[in-house]
Amino acid sequence: MRAFRVFVQKEFYHILRDRWTTIILLALPILMIILFGFGITTEIRNTKFAVYDPAGDFTTRGIINKLESSEYFTLERYLSSPDQIEQLFREGKTGFAVVFSDEQILLVADGTDPNTASILTNYATALINSYLEESAVREAGGGAATNVAGDPPVAAATAAARRTITPEIRLLYNPSLKSAYNIVPGIMGMILMLICAMMTSVSIAREKELGTMEVLLVSPMKPFLIILSKIVPYFTISVINYITILILSVYVLKVPIAGSLILLSGLSLLFIMVSLLLGILISSLVEKQIVALLISGMLLMMPAVFLSGLMFPIESMPEVLQWLSHILPVKWFIIAVRNVMIKGLGFSSIIKEVAILTGMAAVILAVSIKKFKFRLE
């Protein structure tokens, strides 16, 4: 056991003596969670818009004030002609315009980014409808008050209430629609997988490339303990990264932990083990550090970004890509973290994901043991 402790200390020494390795392992996760947490967002705020309002009456001014008072829009300028809209779009001064005419309200959006254009028109439509409904209620209320004074009964308010069904929107788990609630679980999985798999695979490949693996294998320690001694430092660093990500998520990105912290931590430790075993599997298949780096960096990170549900809904992908996403451990980790951290659900809600991650760990470990070559050929 003393020899095992010496090997672990040796690996820690190799990590800490390289300044850039230490920075990558400890500072990169902090940088990534902050950049992704604040940079990747589906929220539209403070969008500059232009207005063409030839009438300038009470209703149009009310609609403009309603738009400007929201957090989504900021009034850029009034237009003297609708023909100015395209010029403003070309110059990039605004990407949205509201045109009032006698019988309609025209919403003009820059369709270069269709998603943003769709979101802006939906926001504006909802705000305008909200203002018109409030105005109708106020007018109907004024009519009802006149009836009490002795005028013939006017059923405008009652008729309007019967004709108009106003939906009540209730958003569960994320009432303020913050993008961080969706991004944090994905970034947590991506960072842990990248650090664990990449650094573990590079560490073992380095021993092979330098020819020191044989020196390690002729030591009194069993080969399994040698590999384990290389895993322990990265497991420790990954736990530190997990704690750091959690603290930044709660106190900087304001994403609360709705469920059990113990359950979330246990789930994360399981995923860390799966990622470490992936690194061992990669190291058993390659002999060069650069190859291990490319495989762990590109073949793991790219699918983790695009096929895990982090950036795009899996249900919207082609069926082939949906099937490919099933083999990614990070997909199941993200689903489980969202259930525990965001929805506040218990263990019964993540039994499937835990079972899949455990099965993946067992399969990867079995394949790694079979493929790993303890002697250099």
Taking residues 181-204, what's their average pLDDT? Answer: 83
3-state secondary structure of 49: strand
Q: Residue 242's pLDDT is what?
A: 92
The larger pLDDT score, comparing residue 84 to residue 204, is at: 84
The span from the CA of 272 to the CA of 150, in Å, is: 76
What are the pLDDT digits (tens) for 324-358?
889 989 999 999 999 999 888 899 989 999 999 99
What are the pLDDT digits (tens) for 37-81?
776 666 677 889 999 988 888 888 898 999 988 888 989 889 988
Name the DSSP class of 374: S
Taking residues 189-213, what's their average pLDDT? Answer: 79
Residue 371 to residues 22, 285, 317, Cα–Cα distance (Å): 30, 7, 34
Q: Residue 168's pLDDT is what?
A: 55
Taking residues 235-263, what's their average pLDDT? Answer: 90
Q: Residue 47's pLDDT is what?
A: 87
Does residue 279 have a pLDDT over 80?
A: yes
Q: Residue 144's pLDDT is what?
A: 47
Q: Residue 264's pLDDT is what?
A: 94
The span from the CA of 173 to the CA of 340, in Å, is: 11
**Taking the model in full, what pTM does it have?**
0.74
Structural domains in the chain? 2-41+178-371 (no CATH), 47-163 (3.40.190.10)
Q: Residue 142's pLDDT is what?
A: 58
The span from the CA of 10 to the CA of 77, in Å, is: 65
